[in-house]
Structure 1
Amino acid sequence: MAKIEMEWKGGNAFESAHDDGIVLIDNPAEGEESRGMRPKALMLSSLAGCSALDIVSLLKKMRAEVDDLKIDVSAELTDEHPKIYKDVVMTYKFYGSDFKKDKIQKAIDLSVDQYCGVMGMFRKFTDVAIEVEYHES
């Protein structure tokens, strides 16, 4: 069972604690400095993080490691309330040389189609497009 404990930190800031760590969530009023990520941005971070963990692990097992991996996630919000994400685009950016592109693509496919539970949740309410970029060093 997953469980977090949320504690109000004043203003619009909350601390979310889990056995694995703590995250600060905020939605500052105009003119206030943000002390954390907004809840919807955390969702996009969770999507990228879930897939990134899968891919790094899979690439290591496949002996197809890369120098670096960055994932950009962008999404539009619907106009009507509750505003939810639509048209999500995940761009995987691989950095290094001598890429084993077939293995990298297999790792992406396994993450996107099978292993990433956050992706599975997102696909219950929106489409997620996947893009891949290779940056040779």
Structure 2
Amino acid sequence: MSHKITASWKGNMKFESTNPGEGTFVMDAAPESGGDGQGLRPKALMLSSLAGCSGLDIAHLIKKMRLDVEDFHIDVEGFLTDDEPAVYYKVIVEYHFFGKELSEEKLKRAVELSVEKYCGVMVMFRKFAEVETKIIYHS
């Protein structure tokens, strides 16, 4: 199995990228880096990929475990080195679950399964950065 994308230059520092799924998205550098700030930042997209990968796992497990979750979101913060090229050396992933009757034990297990077993992006991140995870329950 492989994934193939095409990133097409749209002038200045802007690129439009395909995805193996539907649609395209635009990447651009911030104005302080010579871009127009009219697109997503490539390094931050890595954090979005991490959240999306783990989130898809957890959404599947919530359904499979028949858990009563009203909503959830994932906050990811990545810390970059000061030297060039700047790379992520530490990442904090916060899982926020909302609901009146949350099964904290089962949700913790769902997060653990994603983090330890299912999320390939998490495994990739662990090869170059320290990854810290937190779970926050909101009733």
Fold equivalence (TM over 0.5): yes
Judge which range, 28-37 or 101-110, deviates more.
28-37
Contact kept, 8 Å, 1:13 with 1:28, in 2: the verdict is: no
Tell me the equivalent position of 2:16: 15
Tell me the equivalent position of 1:103: 106
Aligned-partner Cα distance in 2 for 1:100–1:83: 40
Tell me the equivalent position of 1:54: 57
Tell me the equivalent position of 2:90: 87
Unaligned runs of 5+ residues in structure 1 are none
Correspondence 1:1-137 to 2 at 5 A: 1-20=2-21, 21-30=23-32, 33-136=36-139
Question: Once the 2 structures are TM-superposed, how far is the Cα of residue 85 of structure 1 from its aligned partner?
Answer: 0.5
Judge which range, 59-68 or 103-112, deviates more.
59-68
One-letter amino acid of the counterpart of residue 126, structure 1: A
For the aligned residues, what is the CA RMSD? 1.4
Sort the Cα spacing of 1:32 and 1:122 in 2 relative to 1 into closer, same or farther, 3 A.
closer
Judge which range, 36-45 or 20-29, deviates more.
20-29
Contact kept, 8 Å, 2:8 with 2:17, in 1: the verdict is: yes
Aligned-partner Cα distance in 1 for 2:36–2:7: 20
Contact kept, 8 Å, 1:78 with 1:85, in 2: the verdict is: yes
Aligned-partner Cα distance in 2 for 1:94–1:105: 10
Contact kept, 8 Å, 1:5 with 1:17, in 2: the verdict is: yes
Aligned-partner Cα distance in 1 for 2:89–2:102: 32
One-letter amino acid of the counterpart of residue 25, structure 2: V
**3-state DSSP class of the match of 1:10?**
coil
Question: Once the 2 structures are TM-superposed, how far is the Cα of residue 89 of structure 1 from its aligned partner?
Answer: 0.4
Deviating beyond 4 angstroms after TM superposition, the runs of 4 or more aligned structure 1 residues are none
Judge which range, 59-68 or 121-130, deviates more.
59-68
One-letter amino acid of the counterpart of residue 93, structure 2: M
Aligned-partner Cα distance in 1 for 2:81–2:121: 20
One-letter amino acid of the counterpart of residue 27, structure 2: I
Aligned-partner Cα distance in 2 for 1:48–1:28: 22
